[in-house]
Chain A
Amino acid sequence: VDAKQLEALYLRHRQGLFLLALSVVRCPAEAEDAVHDAMVRLNARSSVPEGDTVAYVFAAVRNAALDRLRRRRTTDETRASLYNGHAPDPETAALAAERDRALREAVDGLPREQQEAVVLRVYAELSFEQIAEVAGAPLSTVAARYQRALEKLRDRLRALA
C-alpha cells in the first residue's frame, strides 16, 4: 500500500476507523491521534502482509488505540459517547428522540468488545471475517459478541416500549 492508496483507504473508511478508535479510548481527540498514529506507522512500512488490506488498516488503528489506552497515566475514565448529542433532523427529532437516546446510552454502555463489533459491523460495514481479522479472534467469537450486543440493545428498546 503506497501513501496515496493509504490516503484513499482512509477517506473511504474514515468514519469507521475513527469510531473504532473512539470505542477504545473514549476520547475524540485521542481517537483522532490514534488514527493518525496508525497512518504514520502504516506509511512508514515498506509493505503490508498479504491478505485483506482493509482489515489490516482497521487492525492497525485498533492497536494504536489500545497502545494509547495502555500508556494513559491516570486512571481517570473518559467516557465520551460514540454519538453526537443532537438528532440530525429536527422534524423527526421529537418522535425518535427517546428511542435514539435509549439506543445511544445502550451502545455507549456495551462492553468494549461488543461495542467494537457493533461499530465494525454497522458503521464500518465490515464482514464478520474482516471483523475477526481486526479483533484477532475466531469468527464464531466475534459473531457471538455482535449477537449479544444486539440482544442487549433490543432488550433495552423493549423495556422502553
Chain B
Amino acid sequence: MSEPREFEDLEAALRQMAPRTPSAGLDRRVRRLARRHRVPVWLAVAGSMAAGFALAVLALRGPDKPEQPVAAPAVRHERMPEPARNMQTQTSGAQLARWPAQPARIERVWFADQDNGIVGERNNEPVRRLRRGILRDVILLDPAGQRVLRVTVPQQETVIQATEPY
C-alpha cells in the first residue's frame, strides 16, 4: 500500500519522539517465563493415553475370560458437560462411521485456560494463579462384542507462579 508522501515528515517526527519503553522488570519477567520449566501438555496427554491403554486392555478382554474389575470413572456423562462446550478440542481418533475391524480407542481432550491474575504474595513476591480445566473423553470400541466403553474425566490444574514485583 502506498502512503501519501505528505505524511512522511510527520511519520519521521513521530519516530524521533521518545515513546515510553517497557521496564527492565518486564524483560526479566519474560526471560524468567522462557526459562520456567513448563508442565508440558504432552505429559498430561501421555498420562491419559497410558490410562486409556490400561482401560482398553481391561475392557477388550474376550467374553470367555472372567470379568476384570475396572476402576470406576470419576464422572460419566452421556453429553459433554456444560463447562466443556467452550473448550478447545483435540481429537486423537477419527469419528466412528462403522464398527472397526480391530479394537479401537477414540480420545478427545478439551481444555480451557483461566488467568486469575495476582492473587497474593509469597516471600514478598506477588504470585499469579493460572487454572487449566481439562476434560478427557475416552471411548473404547470392542468390535467382537460390539461394546462401547466411554469414560469422561474432568481435571483441573492450578499453577501458582511468582512474578516480578514493581
Residues of A within 8 A of B (CB): 3-4, 6-7, 10-11, 14-15, 17-19, 22, 28-29, 31-32, 35-37, 39-41, 43-44, 46, 71, 80-84, 86-88, 96, 99-100, 103-104, 107, 118, 121-123, 128, 139, 143, 147, 150, 153-154, 157
Contacts and interface: CB of A to CB of B under 8 A. Distances in A.
Interface residues of B, number: 40
Interface of B: 1, 4, 6-7, 10-11, 13-23, 25-27, 29-31, 33-36, 38, 40-42, 113, 115, 117, 128, 130, 132, 161, 163, 166
B7 A41 contact: no
A154 B17 contact: no
Given A103-B13, A128-B1, A154-B6, A82 B30 contact: no
A81 B115 CA distance: 27
A40 B19 contact: no
B21 A15 contact: yes
Given A14-B27, A43-B33, A84 B18 contact: yes
Contact of A118 (B14, B33, B36, B113): B14
Contact of B38 (A3, A18, A32, A153): A3
12 contacts: A3-B35, A3-B36, A7-B30, A7-B33, A11-B27, A18-B20, A39-B33, A46-B41, A86-B18, A96-B16, A100-B13, A150-B10
